[in-house]
Amino acid sequence: MTSEAKLSWQPGKRDLLFLAIVAAVITLLVLGTSERTTKAVPDDDTHRHATSRAACMSCHDSGGVRPQPAGHTKADQCFQCHAQPRGWGK
């Protein structure tokens, strides 16, 4: 009977540490996805009617207004990171 008691699992210090780390990682992942940290696209007439990368870049290339910073991604999907103006495309 004594051997049977040893089989039941008792969380030790290492198990609790492991669980604490897992919980911390999950918390960070959830917080990290809940908020956009990139600047939103202004909700003005210009930005509501620009519908292609080429249109955006006609103003925001390196010689333009508010140029994309050095090392900025070359990705086409601007709105994946910069929140879209509310009335965009209308």
Q: Does 48 bind ligand HEC (CB under 6 A)?
A: no
Q: What does the alpha-carbon distance between residue 25 and residue 66 come to, in Å, rounded to a whole number?
A: 36
Q: What does the alpha-carbon distance between residue 73 and residue 56 come to, in Å, rounded to a whole number?
A: 14
Q: Does 69 bind ligand HEC (CB under 6 A)?
A: yes
Smallest distance, Å, CB 31 to ligand HEC? 18
How many residues touch ligand HEC under the rule CB under 6 A: the total is: 28
SS (H, E, C) 7-26: HCCCCCHHHHHHHHHHHHHH
Kindly list the residues in this chain that would bind ligand HEC in the complex (CB under 6 A).
Answer: 38-39, 41-42, 44, 46-47, 50, 53, 55-60, 65-66, 68-69, 72-73, 75-78, 80-82
